[in-house]
A and B are shown apart, each in its own frame.
Chain A
Amino acid sequence: MAKALPPLAVCALRLGDDALICGQRLSEWCGHAPALEVDLSLANVALDQIGQATHFLGLAGEIEGKSRDADALAFKRDVMDFTNCLLVEQPNGDFAQTIARLFLFSHYQELLYAALAVSKHERFAAIAAKAVKETAYHATLASDWVIRLGDGTDESRARMTAGLDWMWRFADELFEADEADAALGVDKAALKPAWDQRLDAVLADAALERPASRRPVLGGRKGRHSEHLGHLLSEMQFLQRAYPGATW
């Protein structure tokens, strides 16, 4: 159980789970996106995320010290042991909803990685310093599409608005911090003003209103997930569930 892990392992697990689930969700678009360029973009972002997840989950396993590698953590845990934020597990919905999710998440991730890159914890810093350059591309991609859809046709605008409206309730969880975060030494709450500023600037360009504040939905960090994550895992983990320990 995640509760028994050392605080730094918890932090690495959360970072890895966020990236893994974000990457798995985005990969569902592969072959289905509205245009070839979009298909390539989302698959590339997914690949970056899964790469980052491999590094962070590997680190979590090392800190835990029980011989679990990144694959074991990705494929051999059940839903309640996942510590990703609820935002990344939300279904893709239409393209605008996917972009809304990536928009909220990638700006947070870029700010978080930038802070982590100068952390005193060298292993975290090394992964983050590498990943932050990739995430900058993701945030730009998402922002460009928010503007294009928001400032596009009535239809695209309505869909972008609906996507943001759905995803916004999961934003507060990103900046939630506990004792594990304290061990890592990154103040997530302090990232919120910069995140607000970035998103507001893009929304202004997109001629979109910031969605109304809602009661935040929390729980992912403690393993309390929406129904959606279980279905995602049943597909992602199918092979190891059907053929435990299979290698090739």
Chain B
Amino acid sequence: MVSGVAVITDTGKVRRVLADVPDPEIPCVSVLDLGIVRAIDAGRVVITPTYSGCPATLAIEQAIRTALDNNGFGDVAIITTLSPPWTTDWITEEGREKLRAYGIAPPPKGANAASLKNAQAAECPRCGSSNTEEISRFGSTPCKALWRCKACAEPFDRFKCH
């Protein structure tokens, strides 16, 4: 048990701590970028899982715990909530840019984008072409689909709209 010296008096500081906690599967983005931190308030951080079965959920919680403990926020509780359900629309603009730079096309935005059939073409994160095609709707992790760029011939991951 880590003795907590600080309850959250400075949510800005907690936010800065969380900004340095990477997603274990996609380490280019932080838990804040992904939109899985739903609230930071008196004595608690509220998080929500991305997918029901995402194996990273437990690792994320442990990483946040460690980061909080290391920064004197040992008394801050981590609460997990399912509702409202996480959506890719909660990925921040900064997060979307980080994904693109990392080689993952960010997800289409908005409720209409959730229409699964005739999904709009992804933009290749390497060459920027929209001349792309889906190879597999399911990819290396629950949150990604496999795509291929027909312009530069490179395969790439696309964050699934969710």
Contacts and interface: CB of A to CB of B under 8 A. Distances in A.
A97 interface: no
A204 to B, nearest CB: 16
Contacts of A122: 83
A133 to B, nearest CB: 6
A130 B53 contact: no
B82 A55 contact: yes
Interface in B79-95: 81-86
A50 B140 contact: no
A140 B138 CA distance: 11
28 contacts: A23-B53, A40-B139, A41-B138, A43-B138, A47-B55, A48-B51, A48-B53, A49-B53, A50-B53, A51-B52, A51-B54, A52-B53, A55-B52, A122-B83, A126-B81, A126-B82, A126-B83, A127-B52, A129-B82, A129-B83, A129-B84, A129-B85, A130-B49, A130-B82, A134-B51, A137-B116, A140-B117, A140-B137
Interface in A78-122: 122
B103 interface: no
Contacts, number: 73
Closest 9 CB pairs of A and B: A51-B53, A51-B52, A37-B136, A126-B83, A44-B138, A130-B85, A41-B138, A126-B82, A47-B53
A232 interface: no
Contacts of B135: 37
Interface in B106-162: 114, 116-117, 135-140, 142, 146, 160, 162
A40 B82 contact: no
Interface of A: 23, 37, 40-41, 43-45, 47-52, 54-55, 122, 125-127, 129-131, 133-134, 136-137, 140-141
B86 to A, nearest CB: 7
Contacts of A134: 51-52, 142
A141 B83 contact: no
B83 A45 contact: no
Q: Which residue among A23, A52, A122, A126 has the maximum number of chain B CB atoms within 10 Å of its CB?
A: A126
A45 B85 CA distance: 18
Contact of B52 (A43, A131, A136): A131
